[in-house]
Amino acid sequence: MRRKMSLLVAVFVAAMCLGQSSGFQKLDEWTEVWKEGQQTYFGYPCNQNSALREFYEWYLGSGMYGVNLNNAGDPMNGQPWKMSSSTFEREVIEYFAPLYGFEKDQVWGIVTHSGTDGNNHGIYFGANYLYNKTGKMPVVYVSDEAHYSNMRLCDLQNLDLKLIKSDAMGRMIPEELEKALDTSRPALMVYAMGSTFKGAIDDQEALNAVLDKHPEVMVYRHVDAALFGGYLPFTVHKDMVSHKKMRFDAIAISGHKFFGIDSPSGLFLCTKETYDNQDNFQVTYLNGNMKMINCSRDAVQPLKFWWMIQKVGFEQWSKQANQMMECTAYLKAQLDKIGWPCWRNEYSNTVFFKRPSKEICDEYVLALGYDERFGGDLAHVVVMQHVTKEKIDKFIAALKNAK
């Protein structure tokens, strides 16, 4: 049995090195397209340097590939059932809690299906919290540059939403929030920590100062930190994603962005106070109180997170985060050097610039934007771990040639 397993692992490893055929021509052709595309993947925030090879070797070699686990239930509160990875999920949340400024005994969290799933919980938990505290449904305030999932989720949850104007660089304007604030109802703030196109960070302190002028308004703060929440805890700017420093109640982060989980996943963390003020659903067949939205939840993604904590960990993530900041500054400097109009928000790994030709946009999988204040057609590069200085040099050369 053991020999058979070793053989299987050897075949798997050899296949990965040699580029194994699937036996399906169409799939093999697409595999080549994807592997080639990965080399110049500049426009979207997926870390293409995934550190999961050994995980897959273990997954196959241990026979786990044939075991169907399910994390239905609450990983933080209750007895994890045997056929789940909830014990590991809880350890993941406890590892990340202090990085986002939460005390271990005052945090609740889950590994989510994505950043959107985390925002869904942030908005749902925030609305329930405010309703249970005040007897009134809140108004949600989001900047007009925030990710569309927040608007979609307010629609889905039938919540009143006020879109607040942002400045040219994409940050919610505090004076506009002040003008729009409905002081007769609680406020559910969604702060963008890295707006999707311009990489803007809402100025939490300035916006909180506006809210502090109205003590009669009960406030709940959810931070949508899908991308920036991955790398900021590992930089000198870590206070921006600290619950303790910034007073937010909940935060959502994507797992497939900075952390390089190879399919959609994420983290959602909130205060225990938030959790304690949710509606109860005692579910007998799951032997617990189900406060979260989803029933079945992925059991493999928490294992991948847990694996990365052991194998990559704080030091490597800090190195990667700082390399990303350095390469972002390098990209901006190189664009400036060739006179290509470009802009970057502080603390951001996103540089947006005048849109180049369609050929270059296609080759580098650039994400597109439009803003007349910056001359109209725009594109952006998100400097993730795989966007190195060498690759940036090639990209700049391509722009220069096209010029």
Ligand X SMILES: Cc1ncc(COP(=O)(O)O)c(C=O)c1O
Question: Does 227 engage in binding with ligand X (CB under 6 A)?
Answer: yes
For residues 7 and 10, give the distance between their C-alpha atoms in angstroms, rounded to a whole number.
5
CB of 97 to ligand X, least distance (A): 20
Spatial distance between the Cα atoms of 223 and 106, rounded to a whole number of angstroms: 18
Distance between CA atoms of 198 and 378, rounded to whole angstroms? 10
Q: Are 183 and 189 a contacting pair, CB within 8 Å?
A: no
Give residues with Cβ within 8 angstroms of 165, minimum separation 6.
Answer: 143, 144, 172, 173, 176
Shortest approach of ligand X to residue 246 CB, angstroms? 16
- 200 near 345, Cβ under 8 Å? yes
Name which of 367 and 399 has its Cβ closer to ligand X: 367
- Under the criterion CB under 6 A, does residue 116 sit at the interface with ligand X? yes
Q: Taking CB positions, which residue lies at the least distance from ligand X?
A: 115
Pairwise CA distance, residues 351 & 230, whole Å: 18
Least distance in Å: CB of 192 to ligand X? 6
The nearest distance, CB 103 to ligand X, in angstroms, is 26
Q: Is 229 in the site for ligand X (CB under 6 A)?
A: no
Measured from the CB of residue 87, what is the shortest distance to ligand X in angstroms? 25
Q: What share of the chain is helix, strand, coil (3-state, %, to 5)?
A: 45, 15, 35
The rounded distance, in Å, linking the Cα atoms of 272 and 306 is 22
Least distance (Å) between residue 146 CB and ligand X: 7
Using rule CB under 6 A, residue 199 touches ligand X? no
Work out how close the CB of 9 gets to ligand X at its nearest, in angstroms, rounded to a whole number: 32
List 194, 229, 302, 356, residue binding ligand X (CB under 6 A): 194
Please tell me the count of residues contacting ligand X according to CB under 6 A: 14
Q: Is the CB of 217 or the CB of 300 nearer to ligand X?
A: 300
Q: Which of residues 25-84 bind ligand X (CB under 6 A)?
A: none
Is there binding between residue 115 and ligand X (CB under 6 A)? yes
Beta strands in 106-158 (DSSP E): 107-112, 139-143
Q: Is 266 one of the binding residues for ligand X (CB under 6 A)? A: yes
When computed from its CA atoms, the radius of gyration of the chain, rounded to whole angstroms, is 22
Phi, psi values for residue 158, rounded to 5°:
55, 45
Segment 138 to 177, residues that bind ligand X, using CB under 6 A:
147, 149
Which H or E run contains 126?
A: helix 115-134
Choice between 196 and 274, CB closer to ligand X: 196
The answer to whether 254 contacts ligand X (rule: CB under 6 A) is yes
SS3 at position 166: strand
Binding site for ligand X (CB under 6 A): 114-116, 147, 149, 192, 194, 196, 224, 226-227, 254, 264, 266
